Chain A
Amino acid sequence: MTALDTPTDEVTLTIDGVEVTAPKGALIIRVAEKLGIEIPRFCDHPLLAPVGACRQCLVDVEGQRKPITSCTTPIADGMVVRTHLTSEVARKAQQGIMEFLLINHPLDCPVCDKGGECPLQNQAMSTGAAESRFQDVKRTYPKPINLSTQVLLDRERCVQCARCTRFSEEIAGDPFIELMDRTSDEQVNVYREEMFGGEPGPAGSHSDLGSEPLRSYFSGNTIQICPVGALTSAQYRFRSRPFDLVSTPSVCEHCAAGCAQRTDHRRGKVMRRLAGDDPAVNEEWDCDKGRFGFRYVTAFDRITEPMVRDPQTGALRAAAWSEALAVAAEGLRRARDSSGGVGVLTGGRLTVEDAYAYSKFARIALRTNDVDFRARPLSTEEADFLAAAVAGRQGPTYAEVEQASAVVLAGLEPEEECPILFLRMRKAYRKRALAVHALAPFRTTGYEKLGATVLPCAPGSEATLLAGDASLAAALSQPGAVLVVGERLGGAPGGLSAAVALAERTGARLAWVPRRAGERGALEAGCLPHLLPGGRPVTEPRARAELAGAWGLEAGVLDSRPGRDTGAILAAATAGDLGALVVAGVDPADLSDARAAEQALDAVPFLVSLELRNSAVARRADVVLPVAPTVEKAGSFLTWEGRLRPFEAVLATGAMTDARILDALASQLGVQLNTRDVPAVRAELAALPATDSPRHPPPQVAPAPPPVPADGQAVLATWHQLVDLGTLQDGDDELAGTARPSVVRLGKELATRLGVGDGDPVTVGTGTGALTLPVEVVDMVDAVVWLPTNSPGATVRRSLGAAAGALVSVSVSVSVPVSASVFVSVSPGGSR
């Protein structure tokens, strides 16, 4: 509860003859709910500001001449309220409104996606009259119109409740849909120039998306809260009936926000996902990536059986599990016992249980500390930071961020990288004017929607600002302030060291927000070269002893020397110093130098890939072992807060968890892993003793002088856009169509020096390659150029082989930019 709604005063009233005391200012409809009295409603939504648009919630209040709307009227002392349950006036009023609403409603429930879960249908049954007196012709419209590639609107079904438009403006901050026109022509729409005498766009130009499409990362929520079947998703439209679906509570696997969701399936196939209700995490919202991005599981290249590389043909061929496991075990044994050893790359998308299995497998079956979950730019400083300041710590939580006196963001664009954290911060900004400060090269739309004060900061200069900026220190010195650092801050030398020091100095709480759902869990599970499960430093004898005890190991089995990180493991592979690699869900294109990573995979003598789809790793592997996707297994994720988000399998298939496969592999190596099933892993994790060992010391890396761009050069700034080419978004063109266009952003000075303006093609290059995109001139730190990390036409890591902070060349391009047609959905295939 915010300070504003803390009850300062209470009032007593009666509703349907029941006396009730409730905080002053509460709405009648909410207080009635607490008594178990459900007043019919359409526009009312507890998380949106009241409007009184639909009039369905009329109640009879003593002393009022006419029935009043219970969703907009605050309670008062001595008020006597009668709902439809006890008042004929209220009952008749509600029935009248329902009759009005149905006048223009098509009543096409038999072909409507909402039929069976529709508040209008239900409330027409509970509250409406059996017959309509309306004799005339109903309003009709061509069906449906696109509000975006994903969100469709059947206008004749709309009851003008304005839930969708209010959500877009209040919650998401994307007011691209509005109620247009008036009276019986009133309709929700995006802006279309035709409405004001403009020419409709040429055929085939996607003009059906309007002149200003609904470009929002949260648009799917409007479909879910629409109280009728007016809004549907292109993905789910006409695909199923609610009563044919089996619903399972689930947790989103896409990012570290950890949204509660509901997954609906029918006959073994997921039909849709909805936001779950979890006030502590995602309230009632989710983002479009999490809602719509689930078709990757059924992609054509899903691996369904184990494969081994045939020594004769050199090609992968299907194999029985027994054969594949034996070949894998044999190859790993040989590598383990040779001088090179085995490296383990687990990626950031595993469940806690699976990550734990890899951690344990590496330590006791492969006898190595060469394990790292980080499939992205990384540093030793980061590993030290994670061990010292993150592992084993709880919070700050969403609620603490919402209540914070100030929030400072470094290396994080929350709308793109942790959308539900963004929504929570936006809520705090709207409701209590939360002061947000962001270190960033320019003011993104996300920062704008948070009312953030942006401290202009070229990539690489974060440490200096964190260490020296007085305004940041002042903001963070207020009690309850939170310093939120994104995983990207690890790419700025000294940044994380400075963040720890700043939090220490000011007393602010420190949060680390990775992008992927499995990173925090992998950290706690010890998928790092110098960290064992539970934040235990490899180098601490006590930490090793604790774990050896828990795992029933002889002394000395656990290696006391820190292992190699992702970069070093791959470098060793390229140099021929590594015997084998075990790789889980890692896409080499995510590593800071994608091509170098692929060379390493090519070079390693023996490669075992535990994979879902025929990825760049699987294609190079000697043994491929198919694993279960999130939807087909139980597991848990940890949110960025460190909150455990356990979930059960949605679909019961034969697919096996990574942990189970590793258990089998380990037993071939003569080691008992005990990770066969999820409950067993959970029990083992729960039984791990709290550690007494000293913590890893925090990093103390000095800020590096920022790179100085020469003429024709700039410093690269880059991060992922939420909807992009990520492989977990494959298979949904409608979702891809809502992505933000790929552009290269640069500041006015640089634009002037180059002589370019908005839309002109600009080429950003390195020794590895170059990208050409239309330019967008923004208020940017000079000599910095921004690119989306993995969007159509902007595959930075593959094409440039560079990470944020690198020097790149910038020049005017003579060729035409590749992705000028930004509204056209991007077809998958080709580069991943």
Chain B
Amino acid sequence: MSVSQGELSKQTSIEFSEQTRDRAREIIARYPAGRERSALLPLLHLVQAEYGHVSPAGIEFCAELLGLTRAQVAGVASFYTMFKRRPAGDWLVSVCTNTMCGVLGGDRTFETLREHLGVGHDETTPDGTITLEHAECLAACDYAPVLTVNYEFFDRVQAEQAVEIVDQLQEGKRPVPDRGARLCPLPELSLQLAGFADPRPEGIADGPAGEPTLAGARLAQRHGIAVAGFDPETPIKPKEEDSR
């Protein structure tokens, strides 16, 4: 597939470092021949790692490497909210405002942070440290209300604690999340998400399920509640190979 059918206004040079180019090749090599397209998500994380967001140059870079049109890359990049389309801060503060967290304090937290930081959804503070966003369910309703900083969880956070967290971040400190790995700035994290693991041992943290997570399961067990007709042993059928 030609990427730019006879395009004359083609940008001449896409400025990406040699290291990024090497990494891109490494990512693409992870996928079987003919399936290179699957490398798009990690590649988008990679370009975000270099630029702090997915820029037009990043789109073109991915399109060219994978033989896609820029429209195809843009369709994917604009679907996932993890890809930022404008320069983002080092710290992405995502406040869950979905139903569970929202009623338990998330809505108030978001409003408070908005006033405190003076930025709205998907906006970055003038000092470039923090990007604020309201998020859909972060899959941690059991710890509601939650917020994440660069996707690491701060559980049962009310507005006041949230303000403390962002203050620390703006002061250059790194508050410690309640679970998971230590914080690292967004470009670094993007690189990890591109599949280049953090060498620090504390970069990987994976604990057993916490008490609030298990509480529901225990209750269900005690009262004999189960999903009707659900058999956990049901084998997962492989999807038929899709056609060309």
Contacts of B238 in A (CB 8 A): none
Contact B56 A211 (CB under 8 A): yes
**Do A175 and B243 touch across chains, with their CB atoms under 8 A apart?**
no
- Residue-wise, chain A 715-745 has the 8 Å CB interface mask toward B (1 for contact) of 0000000000000000000000000110100
B227 to chain A, nearest CB (A): 10
A776 to B73, CA, bound (A): 24
Contacts of A193 in B (CB 8 A): 56
Asked if B86 is at the interface of the complex by the 8 Å CB criterion, the answer is yes
Chain B residues near A215 (CB, 8 Å)? 5
Chain A 188-199 near chain B by CB (<8 Å), digits 1 or 0: 011101011110
User: B38 in the interface, Cβ–Cβ < 8 Å?
Assistant: no
Known contacts A196-B77, A197-B85, A211-B56, A430 near B8 by CB under 8 Å: no
Are the C-beta atoms of B6 and A743 separated by less than 8 Å? yes
CB neighbors of A among B29-76 (8 A): 53-56, 58-59, 68-75
Is A139 part of the contact surface with B, judged by Cβ < 8 Å?
A: no
B233 within 8 A of A: no
The residue that B71 contacts in the complex, of A177, A433, A774, with Cβ under 8 A, is: A177
B74 near A195 with CB under 8 A, answer: yes
> Is B4 in the interface zone, CB < 8 Å from A?
yes
Binds B, one of A178-186, A230-238, A332-340: A178-186
Instruction: Decide if A430 touches B244 in the complex (CB within 8 Å).
Output: yes
CB-defined interface of B205-243 with A at 8 Å, one 1/0 digit per residue?
A: 000000000000000000000000100000000000011
Asked if A820 CB lies within 8 Å of chain B CBs, one says yes
Chain A 416-434 per-residue mask, 1 if CB under 8 angstroms from chain B, else 0: 0000000000000111010
- A740–B73 Cα gap in the complex (Å)? 22
Contacts of B68 in A (CB 8 A): 175
> Given that A197-B86, A448-B2, A774-B8 are contacting pairs, would A212 and B55 also be in contact in the complex, using a CB cutoff of 8 Å?
no
| Chain B proximity mask over A752-768: 1 for CB below 8 Å, otherwise 0 | 00000011000000000
Residue of A nearest to B74 (CB): A191
When chains A and B are docked, how far (Å) is the Cα of A179 from the Cα of B8?
25
Contacts of B73 in A (CB 8 A): 191
Say whether B243 contacts A49, CB under 8 Å.
yes
Q: Are A822 and B243 in contact (CB under 8 A)?
A: no
Minimum CB–CB distance from B62 to chain A (whole Å) comes to 11
Q: Which residue of B lies closest to A179 (CB)?
A: B75
Do residues A173 and B70 form an inter-chain contact, with CB atoms below 8 A?
no
Contact of A196 among B4, B71, B85 (CB under 8 A): B85
Q: Is the pair A178, B71 in contact by a Cβ cutoff of 8 Å?
A: yes
Q: Does chain A have a CB within 8 A of B10?
A: yes
Q: How many angstroms from the CA of A213 to the CA of B86 in the assembled complex?
A: 23
CB-contact partner of B69 in A176, A758, A774, under 8 A: A176
Nearest opposing residue in chain A for B54, CB measure? A196
A445 at interface, CB cutoff 8 A: yes
Q: Decide: B6 and A196 in contact? CB cutoff 8 A.
A: no
- Interface size, chain B (Cβ < 8 Å): 33
> Do A197 and B56 touch across chains, with their CB atoms under 8 A apart?
yes
Distance in Å from the Cβ of A720 to the closest Cβ of chain B? 15
Contact status B8-A198, CB under 8 Å: no
Chain A's closest residue to B7 (CB) is A212
Does B185 lie at the interface of the complex (its beta carbon under 8 Å from any beta carbon of A)?
A: no
Q: Are A196 and B5 in contact (CB under 8 A)?
A: no
Residue contact A175 to B71, C-beta cutoff 8 Å:
yes
Q: Does A105 contact B (CB under 8 A)?
A: no
Known: A215-B5, A449-B1, A741-B6. A197 touches B71 (CB 8 A): no
A758: contacting residue among B10, B55, B79, CB under 8 A: B10
Q: Smallest distance from the beta carbon of A231 to chain B beta carbons, Å?
A: 16
Q: Chain A's nearest CB lies how many Å from the CB of B56?
A: 4
CB of B175 closer than 8 Å to a CB of A: no
- In the complex, chain B residues whose CB is within 8 Å of the CB of A822: 6, 8
- Bound Cα distance from A626 to B71, whole angstroms: 48
**A178 pairs with B1, CB closer than 8 A:** no
Known: A196-B77, A212-B4. A175 touches B69 (CB 8 A): yes
Residues in B neighbouring A431, C-beta threshold 8 A: 243-244
Query: Which residues of the partner chain B approach A178 to less than 8 Å between Cβ atoms?
Result: 71-72, 74-75
A178–B71 Cα gap in the complex (Å)?
6
Bound CA–CA A65/B85 (angstroms): 40
Q: Is B180 engaged at the interface, CB distance under 8 Å to the other chain? A: no
With a cutoff of 8 Å between Cβ atoms, the chain B residues found around residue A65 in the complex are: 229
Q: Which residues of A contact B10 (CB under 8 A)?
A: 758
Q: How far is the CB of B123 from chain A (nearest CB, A)?
A: 13
Which residues does chain A contribute within 8 Å of B99, judged by CB atoms?
Answer: none
A190's partner among B58, B59, B71, B78 (CB-CB below 8 A) is B71
Bound-state CA distance A176–B74 (Å) is 10
Give the complex CA separation of A49 and B243 in angstroms: 9
Taking a contact as CB atoms under 8 Å apart, the answer to whether B72 and A196 are in contact is: no
Are A180 and B74 in touch, CB under 8 angstroms? yes
Please give, as numbers and ranges, the residues of chain B lying within 8 Å of A173 by CB-CB distance: 1
Provide the bound-state CA to CA distance between A195 and B58, in Å: 12
**How far is B243's CA from A429's CA once the two chains are assembled, in angstroms?**
11
Query: Which of chain B's residues have a CB closer than 8 A to the CB of A449?
Result: 1
The answer to the question of B87 belonging to the interface, with a C-beta cut-off of 8 Å to chain A, is yes
Bound-state CA distance A173–B68 (Å) is 11
Q: B70 is contacted by which of A182, A191, A448 (Cβ under 8 Å)? A: A191
In the assembled complex, which residues on chain B have CB atoms less than 8 Å from the CB atom of A169?
Answer: 72
Nearest CB to that of B229 among chain A residues? A65
Closest Cβ of chain A to B131, distance in Å, is: 13
Which residues 78-97 of B have a CB within 8 angstroms of A?
78-79, 81, 85-87
- A74 closest partner in B (C-beta): B240
What separation, in Å, do the CA atoms of A195 and B74 have in the docked complex?
A: 8
Give CA–CA (A189, B2) in the complex, Å: 19
Q: Which residue of B lies closest to A216 (CB)?
A: B5
Chain A residue contacts of B87, Cβ below 8 A: 197
For the complex, give the distance between the alpha carbons of A195 and B77 in Å.
Answer: 10
Pick the contact of A212: B1, B71, B77, B86 (CB < 8 A): B71
A178 to B244, CA, bound (A): 18
Kindly state the separation between the CA atoms of A779 and B80 in the bound complex, as whole angstroms: 37
When A196-B59, A448-B2, A820-B8 are in contact, do A191 and B69 touch as well, CB less than 8 Å?
yes
A residues near B81, Cβ cutoff 8 Å = 182
A106 CB to closest chain B CB, in angstroms?
23
Which of A49, A198, A448, A743 is close to B55, meaning CB atoms less than 8 Å apart?
Answer: A198
CB pair A182–B71 under 8 Å, yes or no, is no
Residues in chain A near residue B59, CB distance under 8 A: 191, 196
Complex Cα gap A181–B58 (Å): 17
Q: How far is the CA of A740 from the CA of B244 in the complex (A)?
A: 27
What residues of chain B lie closer than 8 Å to A196, measured between beta carbons? 53-56, 58-59, 74, 77, 85
Shortest CB-to-CB span from A510 to chain B, Å, is 28
Q: Chain B contacts of A182 at CB under 8 A?
A: 78-79, 81
Q: Which residues of A contact B229 (CB under 8 A)?
A: 65
Contact A191-B71, Cβ < 8 Å, known A448-B2, A741-B6, A820-B8: yes
Contacts of A433 in B (CB 8 A): 244
In angstroms, Cα B10 to Cα A92, docked, is: 51
**Roughly how many angstroms separate A445 CA and B10 CA in the complex, as a whole number?**
17
Closest chain-A Cβ to B234's Cβ sits at a distance in Å of 14
Q: Are B5 and A445 in contact (CB under 8 A)?
A: yes
Q: Residues of B contacting A211 with CB < 8 Å? A: 56, 70
A481 to chain B, nearest CB (A): 21
| Contact in complex: A195, B85 (CB < 8 Å) | yes
Task: Report the separation of the CA atoms of residues A505 and B38 in the bound assembly, to the nearest whole angstrom.
Answer: 45
Give the CA-CA distance A433 to B85 in the complex, in Å.
38
Besides A178-B71, A196-B54, A196-B55, 16 other CB < 8 A contacts? A169-B72, A176-B69, A176-B71, A178-B72, A182-B78, A190-B71, A191-B59, A195-B74, A196-B74, A215-B5, A429-B244, A445-B6, A448-B2, A741-B6, A822-B6, A822-B8
Query: What would be 6 A-B contacts, judged by CB atoms less than 8 Å apart?
Result: A178-B72, A181-B79, A195-B74, A212-B71, A445-B5, A445-B6
Binding site for B on A (CB under 8 A): 49, 65, 169, 173, 175-182, 189-191, 193, 195-198, 211-212, 215, 429-431, 433, 445, 448-449, 740-741, 743, 758-759, 774, 776, 820, 822
Question: What 10 pairs across the A-B complex have the smallest Cβ distances?
Answer: A178-B75, A191-B70, A198-B56, A193-B56, A191-B71, A178-B71, A445-B2, A197-B86, A180-B78, A191-B74
